[in-house]
């Protein structure tokens, strides 16, 4: 198994007025985080921190437009996926010639993940293992193919790489991506998705002593979000808020811990990880967006999409999904009902 990992943190930006006690409490945490990210950056290449960064999507040339068979022109319901074909087969009974059989023959399932999104996909500093809710989903796919949840070959990627590693024939490309990956119609034009396995939403992280109950209460304050994302775009809907762009969510956390911004906005899954790292922070408010997460799959591998959907059905029916939620995302509250799959998409 091979893994790579990277993260970056910056401490740029003008100083913001903050209480001396809060600054002192945060200084140690910010220094520790900065040291950690510098070590990670020295180990490998691109950052895996920006979990909501939009993939750069240039309009395809007319002659190379995705064929209708794998990229339907109309997308009235982005979470609609391909239905499983019967019961999930045993690992030794995978259909001959299928994508799954080829992966089994290869010996590893190649997956694109984050390695520093705490609770979703991050490296355990003690064991060195990459773990989290997203990783648990991939482990169950590995179990279904090999009878072993640990036959995963990780490729640590940025949000902006999620689509490109599923599109080409490069040896470093992957079979699946599970990286806080929001399903939407534009992305269906390039890749395929499993059914929704988690429903996230944009919220805000504030200091423990903040009186804010949601994003609407942050008028006149500085709120950080990664540049080039739907997250920071939505801040424009609140003209009284000063939006502070950063390269990654990790950089936002550093600025927050140094008192240079008052809040961070992002998916509740990402903010839950930050709250777990910083005892002086909390996540507040109702979600102001819908972010249905799915497993990304190469567009041509419809059989793999159907197979992954069978795995997700098994996870929800046998309690695996709820157990994984309790372990990683319990800070957000009691486990909700897993998203109901929506099928009906046809090749």
pLDDT in tens, 124-144: 999 999 999 999 999 999 999
32 inside domain: no
- The residue whose two tokens read 């003008």 is 14
Are 72 and 139 contained in the same domain? Answer: yes
165 and 224 fall within a common domain = no
Is 144 inside any structural domain?
Answer: yes
Residue 12 lies in a domain: no
**158 domain residue, yes or no:** yes
Residues 298 and 314 in one domain: yes
Neighbours of 310 (CB within 10 A): 21
Can you list the alpha helix ranges (DSSP code H) found in the chain?
A: 20-43, 99-106, 133-146, 164-167, 185-188, 230-235, 249-257, 268-277, 302-317, 320-329
Q: Read off the pLDDT of residues 320-336 as tens digits, 9 standing for 90 and up.
A: 999 999 999 988 888 99
Residue 207 phi, psi dihedral angles, 5° rounding:
-70, 155
Q: Using one digit for the tens of pLDDT, what is the confidence trace for 228-278?
A: 777 888 899 999 999 999 987 888 999 999 999 999 999 999 998 998 888
User: Rounded to whole angstroms, how far apart are CA atoms 268 and 252?
Assistant: 15
CB 44 within 8 A of CB 291: no
Classify residue 264: in a domain, yes or no: yes
Pair (163, 72) in one structural domain:
yes
Instruction: Tally Cβ neighbours within 10 Å of residue 105.
Output: 8
Domain that holds residue 262: 202-284
Same domain for 182 and 110? Answer: yes
User: pLDDT above 70 covers what percent of the chain?
Assistant: 78
Rg (CA), the chain: 20
pLDDT per residue over 215-235, tens digit each? 999 999 999 998 777 788 889
Over pLDDT 90: what percentage of the chain?
63
Q: At 3, which helix (H) or strand (E)?
A: none
Q: How far apart are CA 347 and CA 344, in angstroms?
A: 10
Tell me the whole-structure pTM to 2 decimals.
0.74
Neighbours of 313 (CB within 10 A): 18
**Are residues 79 and 195 part of one domain?**
yes
* Same domain membership, residue 162 and residue 77: yes
Overall number of domains in the chain: 2
Q: 233 phi and psi, to 5 degrees?
A: -60, -40
27: in domain: no
43 domain residue, yes or no = no
Instruction: Give the CA angle between residues 82, 326, 25 to the nearest 5°.
Output: 120
Query: Using 50, 70 and 90 to split pLDDT, how confident is the model at 287?
Result: very high
* Residue 105 pLDDT greater than 70, yes or no: yes
Domain boundary among 267, 284, 301: 284
Are residue 177 and residue 299 in the same domain, yes or no?
yes
Question: The domain that contains 250 carries what CATH number?
Answer: 3.40.190.10
- Rounded CA-CA distance 278/105 in Å is 44
Establish if 19 belongs to a structural domain: no
- Model pLDDT, residue 250: 82
169, 298: one domain? yes
User: So what's the pLDDT on residue 229?
Assistant: 73
Q: Are residues 195 and 213 in the same domain?
A: no
The answer to whether residues 156 and 195 belong to one domain is yes
């Amino acid at each position: 198994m091979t893994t790579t990992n990277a993260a970056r943190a910056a401490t740029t930006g003008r100083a913001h007025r903050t209480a001396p006690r809060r600054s002192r409490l945060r200084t140690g945490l910010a220094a520790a985080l900065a040291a950690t990210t510098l070590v990670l950056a020295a180990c490998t290449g691109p950052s895996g921190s920006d979990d909501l960064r939009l993939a750069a999507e240039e309009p395809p040339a007319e002659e190379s437009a995705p064929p209708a068979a794998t990229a339907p022109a109309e997308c009235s319901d982005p979470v609609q996926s391909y239905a499983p074909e019967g019961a999930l087969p045993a690992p030794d009974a995978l259909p001959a010639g299928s994508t799954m059989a080829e992966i089994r023959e290869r010996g590893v399932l190649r997956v694109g993940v984050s390695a520093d999104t705490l609770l979703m996909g991050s490296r355990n500093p003690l064991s060195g293992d990459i773990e989290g809710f997203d990783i648990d989903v991939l482990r169950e796919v590995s179990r279904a193919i090999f009878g072993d949840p640990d036959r995963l070959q990780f490729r640590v990627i940025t949000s902006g790489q999620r689509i490109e590693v599923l599109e080409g024939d490069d040896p470093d490309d992957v079979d699946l991506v599970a990286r806080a990956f929001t399903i939407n119609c534009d992305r269906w034009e390039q890749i395929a998705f499993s059914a929704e396995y988690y429903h996230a939403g944009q919220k805000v992280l504030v200091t423990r002593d903040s009186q804010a109950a949601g994003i609407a209460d942050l008028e006149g304050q500085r709120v950080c979000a990664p540049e080039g994302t739907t997250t920071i775009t939505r801040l424009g809907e609140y003209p009284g808020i000063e939006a502070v762009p950063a390269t990654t969510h990790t950089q936002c956390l550093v600025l927050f811990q140094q008192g240079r911004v008052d809040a961070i906005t992002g998916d509740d899954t990402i903010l839950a990880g930050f709250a777990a790292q910083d005892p002086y922070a909390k996540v507040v408010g109702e979600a102001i967006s819908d972010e249905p997460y799915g497993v990304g799959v190469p567009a041509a591998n419809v059989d793999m999409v159907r197979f992954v959907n069978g795995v997700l059905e098994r996870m929800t029916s046998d309690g695996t999904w709820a157990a994984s939620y309790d372990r990683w995302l319990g800070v957000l509250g009691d486990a909700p009902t897993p998203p109901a799959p929506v099928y009906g998409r046809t090749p």
